[in-house]
Amino acid sequence: MAGKKEAERNNAWLKMDEKQLQEAYDLSEGYLQFLNKVKTEREAVEFITQTAAESGFINIDSVEKLRPGDKAFLKVKSKVCALLVMGEDSLERGMNIVASHIDSPRLDLKPKPVYEADGLAMFKTHYYGGIKKYQWLAMPLALHGIVVKKDGQVINVCIGEGQNDCVFTITDLLPHLAKDQMEKKLADAVKGEDLNVLIGSRPLREAESDPVKQHIMEILHEKYNIKQDDFASAELEIVPAYSAREVGFDRSMIGAYGQDDRVCAYTSLKAALEVEKPKRTALCLFADKEEIGSCGNTGLHSLMIENIMAELLYKVGQSDYYTLRKTLASSCALSADVNAAVDPTYPDVFEKMNCSFLSSGVVLTKYTGSRGKVDSNDANPEFLGRIRKLFDDNQIVWQVGELGKVDIGGGGTVAKYMAYYGMEVVDCGVAVLGMHSPFEVVSKADIYMAYKGYKAFLQLF
Ligand code: MN
Ligand code: MN
């Protein structure tokens, strides 16, 4: 149990003084509010860019020339954003980048979602990202997202968050009739096509067919101007309807939906807001689509980073191809993403000398991947040496983390898509219990250490 003893020695709570403890609790207050306002990538972009604007960051679209010390934000398709603090050095000497993701596992509505069966109106869903399907049953659910009309009008939807809002749910089979279901493997007990959301039960008196569905469509039309065909051009996400909460008698933890990876998004946002006149340019990136492989034009497995760099270089008057390549290759990055904290109920999947523990500080994950590091960025030790020194010099409690035992499973992050350009990159984030569940748990001490780590890194030179 060497790992356990080491974790006790390395406990971030025990290493903080009174002032830091206060800062940690204050940070978590803001974080709770953020989690309750933000449950989708679009809501995250709104929150982050608004907060940045209030702190003096200007929209890059309104900037003609970028100068040292300038602070700007940019948006990509309302689903990705970035904060930028221009450094004294020329861009080709590289930037310090912290990249988190603001999408989380959830249930998306299908393009034709509404149907009626046995007197009930339902939504068909298609899950997004890696979920354990049974975890999404029998709890209050909210609907967030947008519907785009044919004329381009955008209808914002957020139902289930207000005290008096209605909520939705996916019903579970009663134990009395679940004999066959209970004998199935956990993975087969609830299928993707079983994740149907209950949305109504009262029929429309004058309807000829599907009267309950017709009633729901009438309500959607009257209240939101949404017709059945409009779901074809919509992005509607089913997420847990409950709020983020403090967990434990000691209130030392936060439990909430979507902390992978909004815990890193929030802490890197707070860090970026406090960067002033850095030597190297600081860039805080909030990406989409990580949970489904960083694909699409808002994921990092695209030319997005390159396009952002090209725009910055254009705005400092250095838009040649060589400088673009050089800027990318000489940059340093933290892939700000969560790791799995050791769960005492499931010790068998962790190798405790190399796993992360709750409250043991921000986690440096040298490599991810699975079964022989396959598909992983494996960070260079020269870079890791610099990060270790940076964290130690700034009293940042940190730990190493491997994602579970060799051969057990694995995962990936955006790190490899940044490494592609030649930049140095390592995964660095918060340890989470119950990752990808609808109620993930993190430690307030780790939130604080992540914030401090990102802030120090953004000012690295
Ligand atoms: Mn993640
Ligand atoms: Mn994830």
Ligand nearest 338 Cα, by number?
A: 1
| DSSP β-bridge partners for residue 127 | 107
- Residue 28 scores a pLDDT above 70: yes
Query: Does some domain include residue 348?
Result: yes
Ligand 1 centroid–CA 429 distance in Å is 9
322-360 pLDDT per residue, tens: 999 999 999 999 999 999 999 999 999 999 999 999 999
301 alpha carbon to ligand 1 midpoint, in Å? Answer: 15
Query: d(Cα 408, Cα 406) in Å, to the nearest integer?
Result: 6
Tell me if 252 is assigned to some domain. Answer: no
Ligand 2 geometric centre to CA of 432 (Å):
10
pLDDT band at 90 (very low <50, low <70, confident <90, very high): very high
Whole-number pLDDT of residue 318: 94
Do 226 and 119 lie in a common domain? yes
* Domain shared by 297 and 422, yes or no: yes
Mean pLDDT of the chain: 96
Three-state SS string over 35-95 comes to HHHCCCHHHHHHHHHHHHHHCCCEEHHHCCCCCCCCEEEEEECCCEEEEEECCCCCHHHCE
Res 141: pLDDT: 98
Is residue 311 helix, strand or coil? helix
Q: What is the DSSP letter of 244?
A: P
In a domain, 357, yes or no: yes
Q: What is the pLDDT of residue 3?
A: 57
**Which region, left, alpha or beta, applies to residue 325 given φ > 0 means left and ψ of -120 to 50 means alpha?**
alpha
Residue 75 has pLDDT above 60, yes or no: yes
Q: Where in the sequence is the domain holding 117, given as residue range(s)?
A: 107-240
Ligand 2 center to 249 CA (angstroms):
28
170 Cα to the center of ligand 2, angstroms: 22
The β-bridge partners of 98 are 284, 334
Residues 345 and 207 occupy one common structural domain: no
pLDDT of residue 38: 98
Chain CA centroid to CA 121, Å? 31
259-273 and 444-458 helices cross at what angle (nearest 10)? 50
**Residue 63 placed within a domain:** yes
Q: Let me know if residue 194 belongs to a domain.
A: yes
Same domain? For 98 and 67 the reply is: yes
Do 414 and 444 share a domain, yes or no? yes
Compute, in angstroms, the gap from residue 103 CA to the centroid of ligand 2: 9
Residue 168 near residue 160, CB atoms below 8 Å: yes
State pLDDT tens for residues 143-187: 999 999 999 999 999 999 999 999 999 999 999 999 999 999 999
Choosing from 191, 215, 240, the residue where a domain stops is 240
pLDDT above 70 as % of the chain: 98
Q: Quick one: 303 and 348 in the same domain?
A: yes
* pLDDT reported for residue 4: 61
User: Which residues have C-beta under 5 Å from ligand 1, the single-atom ion?
Assistant: 260-261, 337
pLDDT tier for residue 6 given thresholds of 50, 70 and 90? low
For ligand 2, the distance from its centroid to the CA atom of residue 130, given in whole angstroms, is: 7
- Alpha carbon of 391 to ligand 1 centroid (Å): 22
172 and 286 inside one domain: no
Confidence at 410, pLDDT banded by 50, 70, 90? confident
What is the pLDDT, as a whole number, of residue 184? 97
Separation of 93 CA from ligand 2 center, angstroms? 32
Number of domains in the chain: 2
Instruction: Give the pLDDT confidence of 245-287 residue by residue, as tens digits.
Output: 999 999 999 999 999 999 999 999 999 999 999 999 999 999 9
Closest by CA position to 242, among listed 8, 36, 392, 54: 36
CA–centroid distance, residue 156 to ligand 1 (Å): 26
CA of 261 relative to ligand 2 center, distance in Å: 7
Length of the chain equals 461
Question: In terms of pLDDT, which residue wins out, 403 or 357?
Answer: 357
Edge-first strand order for the sheet with 398-400 is: 58-59, 71-76, 80-85, 281-287, 95-101, 332-335, 424-429, 362-365, 398-400
Question: What are the residue ranges of helices labelled H in 177-239?
Answer: 179-183, 186-189, 211-224
Q: What's CA 385's distance to the chain center, in Å?
A: 27
Report the separation in Å between the CA atom of 295 and the middle of ligand 1, taken as the mean of its atom positions: 14
Q: Report how far ligand 1's centroid is from the alpha carbon of 289 (Å).
A: 10
pLDDT tens-digit map of 217-239? 999 999 999 999 999 999 999 99
Return the residue matching tokens 């020695």: 9
CA of 415 to the centre of ligand 1 (A): 11
Task: Measure 112 CA to ligand 2 centroid, in angstroms.
Answer: 27
How much is the pLDDT for 409?
82
Q: How far is the CA of 164 from the centre of ligand 1 (A)?
A: 32
- Cα(336) to ligand 1 centroid in Å equals 8
CATH, residue 114: 2.30.250.10
Q: Which of 187, 214, 240 is the last residue of a domain?
A: 240
| pLDDT over threshold 70, residue 5 | no
Residue 338 C-alpha to ligand 1 middle, in angstroms?
Answer: 5
Q: Ligand nearest 435 Cα, by number? A: 2
Burial class for 209, CB neighbours closer than 10 Å (0-12, 13-18, 19+): exposed
Model confidence at 10, pLDDT cuts 50, 70, 90, reads confident
Nearest bound ligand to CA 336? Answer: 1
Q: Do 302 and 383 belong to one domain?
A: yes
Q: Is residue 251 part of a domain?
A: no
Measured from the alpha carbon of residue 264, the closest ligand is: 1
Lowest-pLDDT range, 16-30, 88-102, 403-417? 403-417
Report the CATH number that the domain containing residue 61 is assigned in CATH: 3.40.630.10
Entry pTM? 0.97
3-state helix, strand, coil in the chain (%, to 5): 35, 25, 40
Q: Which residues pair with 163 in a beta bridge?
A: none
Residues 202 and 266 in one domain: no
The CA 186 to ligand 1 mean position distance, Å, reads 23
- Same domain for 99 and 113? no
Q: How far is the CA of 261 from the centre of ligand 1 (A)?
A: 5
* Distance from residue 258's CA to the centre of ligand 1 (Å): 9
Ligand 1 centroid to Cα of residue 326, in Å, is 28
User: 250 in a domain, yes or no?
Assistant: no
Residue 411 pLDDT: 87
CA of 30 to the centre of ligand 1 (A): 21
Q: What is the pLDDT of residue 83?
A: 98
One domain, residues 413 and 390: yes
Rounded to the nearest whole angstrom, what is the distance from the C-alpha of residue 387 to the centroid of ligand 1? Answer: 21
Q: How far is the CA of 62 from the centre of ligand 2 (A)?
A: 34
* Cα 125 to Cα 20, 93, 196, 236, 318, distances in angstroms: 44, 47, 6, 10, 47
In a domain, 245, yes or no: no
Between the CA of 134 and the centroid of ligand 1 the distance, in Å, is: 21
Task: State whether 352 and 414 are in the same domain.
Answer: yes
Q: How far apart are CA 231 and CA 141, in angstroms?
A: 19
pLDDT of residue 7: 60
Give the domain-ending residue among 186, 214, 240.
240
Q: Tell me what pLDDT residue 369 has.
A: 87
Q: What's the average model confidence in pLDDT over 285-314?
A: 97
